[in-house]
A and B are shown apart, each in its own frame.
Chain A
């Protein structure tokens, strides 16, 4: 158990819909990272927050957005969903702003039908 909690674990929805994935980092960790994992692309970096502020952005689609709240939990919002958005979405946390050891949650598996 990494201490990082992600909900929901599984989500099935239809194209065009919007979903929100939630992540609670380990106690004391200020940084939250979001990654998308699909079969052929490995772990794709989406976005990072540190203490409530956006710190780094990867290849995150405009249809996707995220935020980190004052209690440090984070939410990843995915809208106008397409079939290709089906993937495993991981949240990871670390203590500091600069990448150190990342603690990954168990992921949220999104299936878009």
Chain B
């Protein structure tokens, strides 16, 4: 089952904050976040494992609520370089080696 991301698209001004949500209908072992810039390959941001951890990467952090099967990606004081499409990928508890990605959230940062 494909995770659901929201919002589908966000337009921000440089310096503003954004939250991207990812929810799944099945129990999750891990959540993966990737960013894809236009015309490029997706690039890994972070993995969150079950246990409700929160991770940070520069000014980008994420949380994972395993009870709700939800993850959120937080972008603070956004920079122009943050523009792109963000994908969450989920791995089920049976660890069947699949990472199923959501449809993505397009983020556009204006100067």
Contacts and interface: CB of A to CB of B under 8 A. Distances in A.
B42 to A, nearest CB: 5
B32 A99 contact: yes
Given A100-B47, A103-B44, A48 B87 contact: no
B96 A101 contact: no
Contacts of A107: 41
A105 B40 CA distance: 9
A60 B8 CA distance: 25
B88 to A, nearest CB: 10
Given A99-B32, A101-B47, A41 B103 contact: yes
Given A90-B41, A101-B44, A106-B40, A48 B97 contact: yes
Interface residues of B, number: 23
Nearest to A1: B41
A44 B103 CA distance: 9
B104 interface: yes
Interface stretch (A15-23, A50-58, A69-77): A50-58
Those 4 A-B pairs whose CB atoms lie nearest each other, nearest first: A104-B41, A42-B103, A56-B97, A43-B101
12 contacts: A35-B101, A42-B101, A43-B101, A44-B101, A45-B100, A56-B96, A56-B97, A58-B98, A90-B41, A99-B97, A99-B98, A104-B42
Chain B CB within 10 A, most for which of A45, A90, A99? A99
A55 B103 contact: no
B30 A99 contact: yes
B109 interface: no
Contacts of B42: 43, 90, 102, 104
Contacts of B103: 40-42
B41 A97 contact: no
Contact of B97 (A41, A44, A90, A97): A97
A56 B87 contact: no
Contact of B101 (A2, A40, A45): A45
A105 B32 contact: no
A42 B104 contact: yes
